[in-house]
Structure 1
Amino acid sequence: MDNRFPWATILPFEGMVPQIHDTAFIAPGARIIGDVTIGPQASVWYNCLLRGDIHRIVVGARSNVQDGSVFHVEGPRPDTDGCPTIIGEDCVIGHMAVVHGCTLDDRAFVGMGAVAMDGCHIGSGAMLGAGALLSPGKAIPENEIWVGRPAKFLKRQSTEQADKIRFQTERYCALAQRHLDALNNRGPAQG
């Protein structure tokens, strides 16, 4: 049991214990279960669920999983070894996203309310737009933006848009520390 985050539910499952880096932030109401690894300066926000019960989940360094998001996996079946959920470094996962058995390369972005399903791959610097649905097995190439239900190619990522994602990552690292400080009563959170 991880005592650093008494406000969150962090549970082992069948001998698999969540591994949370010392510099990560887990917000109140978050639930981290089973084979889950949270990297340095990564953050899992209010009321998120990361359930690594039938495969593993990895959240890379400085990535943020925003409020209400759900991560799960696809377990092994007779025809496949299953699909873990692997999030690279510096990724942004918007509020209420569902990421199920997917791989996101470094600096990938999943917008608010988007759904990425089993076997999907979102390339480095690529974006799945808000509310989009990436159906099973689809891949978004590096630096492309896909939107809609089902998600389809919209355009290439601009340098300006990539910079905004980088800014979001940096902002969430700093914001996580402010929330942690406030929760630990080390000082007031300031705007």
Structure 2
Amino acid sequence: MIPRMIPHTNPRTSTDQSAGPGSLPQGVLIEHRGAAPQVHPTAYVAPTATLVGDVRIGPNARVMYGAVLDAEGSRIEVGESSVVCENAVLRASAVAADQPVLVGDHVFVGPHATLLGCTVERACYLATSVSVLQEAVVGTGSVVAVAALVHTRTVLPADFFVPPYLTALGEPVRLLAPGDPEVPQAIGRLGFAGTAFGVDASWTDRIARHERIAEVRSAEFGAHLADRPARS
């Protein structure tokens, strides 16, 4: 189930909007590629959180200190009563394909978590330092425990549990521990470089591949040269 979409007609789009009399401004809101963040009036965005581009924060959602939500050429949606904790990074992309970050209702995203171009369905719990990579889907009610990784294009069924520090790969999903000799081959079969960067993963010259990946991201992030503070 795809998270419920947040309408474009959200009234709060300016850095000078605040949650009430005497309160601090709601985050650093930046217009990027012609799109400005939209924050529901009942949501809270901490003053040191940063929202860039087409980012939509739903009713009663909370985006805490130091979190960065960067839509790039796609979009980010955070559903009702969801919590994005301190220093989490949510980044969408449109380099290899349209890869939004879609966070459903009542989701907890722990401190230092990283969500890249993925879908997290409703009522999931993502613990501290979790990573969910491009085009992965975390099914409704799932738990991804401390420092676990949900790799590219992996699909977790509903109510799935990924134990701490393990890597979840593929569909049907497999769980591999750090140091498992199968990990490099399993990741290679997922086509991470192609999915994330549009770069041919079959290149045998690893340095050339990494150079190309850096060039792709440099070009994508170059669009930030035209960023400006969001305004009403």
Q: TM-score, normalised by structure 2?
A: 0.62
The letter of the residue matching 1:53 is E
Structure number, greater radius of gyration: 2
Give the unaligned 5+ runs of structure 1: 155-191
Which structure has more relative contact order (CA 8 Å, sep 6+)? It is: 2
Deviations 1:97-134 (A, max 9, x none): 00001101110111100100001100110011110011
The letter of the residue matching 2:65 is Y
Between the aligned partners of 1:39 and 1:7, the Cα distance in structure 2 is 14
Preserved contact between residue 144 and residue 153 of structure 1 (Cα < 8 Å): no
Between the aligned partners of 1:20 and 1:8, the Cα distance in structure 2 is 10
Aligned residues: 151
Preserved contact between residue 114 and residue 129 of structure 2 (Cα < 8 Å): yes
Give the unaligned 5+ runs of structure 2: 1-13, 19-24, 169-173, 177-232
SS in 2 for 1:53: coil
Residue 52 (str. 1) matches residue 68 (str. 2): no
Identical amino acids, percent of aligned pairs: 27
Q: Out of 53, 59, 82, which is 1:34 matched to?
A: 53
Q: Out of 10, 15, 18, which is 1:2 matched to?
A: 15
| More strand, by proportion | 1
Residue 149 (str. 1) matches residue 169 (str. 2): no
Between the aligned partners of 2:27 and 2:38, the Cα distance in structure 1 is 14
Q: Which residue of 2 aligns with 1:127?
A: 143
Q: TM-score, normalised by structure 1?
A: 0.75
Q: Which residue of 2 aligns with 1:11?
A: 30
Q: Report the CA distance between 1:30 and its aligned residue.
A: 0.3
Preserved contact between residue 72 and residue 93 of structure 2 (Cα < 8 Å): no
SS in 2 for 1:75: coil
Deviations 1:138-172 (A, max 9, x none): 11110110123323559xxxxxxxxxxxxxxxxxx
Residue 61 (str. 1) matches residue 74 (str. 2): no
